[in-house]
Structure 1
């Protein structure tokens, strides 16, 4: 009997309980604090990461899984005859994770162990997670690989993401902006609103002075970007539940929210966005 298994990486920020319920396999990226190395969402969880982040002067670095680490997961899944694999990963514009998965898939074919359908999510965090969760549910319902790949494309095309970064300092430390811009932004309380464009690149949509005005601006952007009023909402935050609640409330005041879930941004995403970040992941209906 044929079965379809879904693989993703830790930057999808899918809660463990959801992964276990749907049988989604996760390959972790790595977080490096000086000489210490942790596995994202395995040996370093979000709560501990944010405590460590604000108490450590040096910015942590991150690294992708190797092809061999992907290969280990693919080979284990392929041990069951008839298993087909769909592997969905962090945007290739942001990391080499996707390329590692592609190389592992090629190795699987060369060793005649089966085909791996590797998908570039062109996204990050729950922009990946929503694809993996939808794919796992569709597989459980008996859909074919081709049907699931089409489903992923359709969701990816319509999905909307808005990140509200609390401070520019982590973007500056990561080389995304200059030091002068970060200092000026902090003095003026500038809050960048970020998204991920169609090419899978993080893009600044706007910069607004003050969190309240920035959240109001997100509502304006949503009203322009989303044709209808009904949507499914995932709210994410980097150790800032208060801001997440505030953003949720504004969205619910202006849209018909059919469902809402909360997630915490994981260590890899949090290392680049910084603590205090809040985000809305939106699937229009």
Structure 2
């Protein structure tokens, strides 16, 4: 049996206890404040530190992907540590949102003669990426083959959806992730925007509601429509909105057959694009 390793990036927002428990390798993206201070997401800038720093700057932080060399170094290290039979799944943030997938692809080409690396564009972000990575890592640890893991990964990519609500669209608008018109409409009507990610991996406005409670109700209705009578795994990620995340978790437990649930913090890179107050709900089918 080959040694299967899972690599992802920091935008997956996976809690540290899970990356350690499952042996997931996380490559950090970078966040730069005011074109001066650059940090490695999750390494020398925690979510708490990021949201404390955010109000100190007028401009929205910029983000950047790892270099191909950084990926190449990680792939080489995994081979050295685990042997020549090592096989790697490298699963990343939507290529519509970042060049991370492209950097990993270049690196995989450089090491192709030494190690097998399957680079995957998840077309997801935050814990909708994270939940896929965690489920695949658990599946691999059960002893499944590389081909079986590939099939499982395809199912996870197909079966996972995400809905999120933001306090303001200004971060998405300033970072070019959603049109200015949508930002204007949301602010004028004082509506709570509900967003999702489409099949191409792009953020789009799913719906809107007047107030948080109605927004949550619409999200739960969308999940119910897509996962009727189906056991599910749930991931709730938040940007300094832990109480809201916990309240939603209670509602989900009451409404659905939840096989596992993770509440996690949105890190600096995703936080730079969605802003404080954001809550995201990722859901995938459970067997």
- For residues 190-229 of structure 1, the aligned pairs below 5 Å read 190-228=191-229
Partner of 1:164: 165
User: 1:119: which partner in 2?
Assistant: 120
Report the equivalent of 1:92.
95
1:1-285 aligned at under 5 Å gives the runs 2-34=2-34, 35-79=36-80, 80-109=83-112, 112-177=113-178, 182=183, 184-228=185-229, 230-285=231-286
8 Å Cα contact 1:31/1:38 also seen in 2: yes
- Assess if the C-alpha contact under 8 Å between 1:237 and 1:279 holds in 2: yes
SS in 1 for 2:20: helix
Query: Aligned residues, how many?
Result: 283
CA contact (8 A) 1:228 1:284 kept: no
| C-alpha contact 2:128 2:235 (8 A) present in aligned 1 | no
Shift of 1:51: 1.0
Any unmatched runs of 5+ in structure 2? Answer: none
- State the TM-score, normalizing by the size of structure 1: 0.93
Does the 8 Å contact 1:2/1:81 carry over to 2? Answer: no
Flag as ranges the 4+ runs of structure 1 deviating above 6 A.
Answer: none
Distance between the aligned counterparts of 1:194 and 1:261, measured in 2?
Answer: 20
Displacement of 1:258 in angstroms is 3.0
SS at match of 2:270: helix
Mean alpha-carbon deviation: is it higher for 165-174 or for 248-257? 248-257
In 2, Cα distance between equivalents of 1:175 and 1:117: 29
Counterpart CA distance in 1 for 2:184 and 2:61 is 20
TM-score if structure 2 supplies the norm length? 0.93
Instruction: Say which is worse superposed, 9-18 or 222-231, in terms of deviation.
Output: 222-231
List runs of 5+ in structure 1 lacking aligned partners: none
User: For the structure 1 residues 182 and 195, does the alpha-carbon distance in structure 2 shift closer, same or farther, using more than 3 Å as the test?
Assistant: closer
Please, what is the CA RMSD of the aligned residues? 1.7
Task: Classify the secondary structure of the residue corresponding to 1:47.
Answer: helix
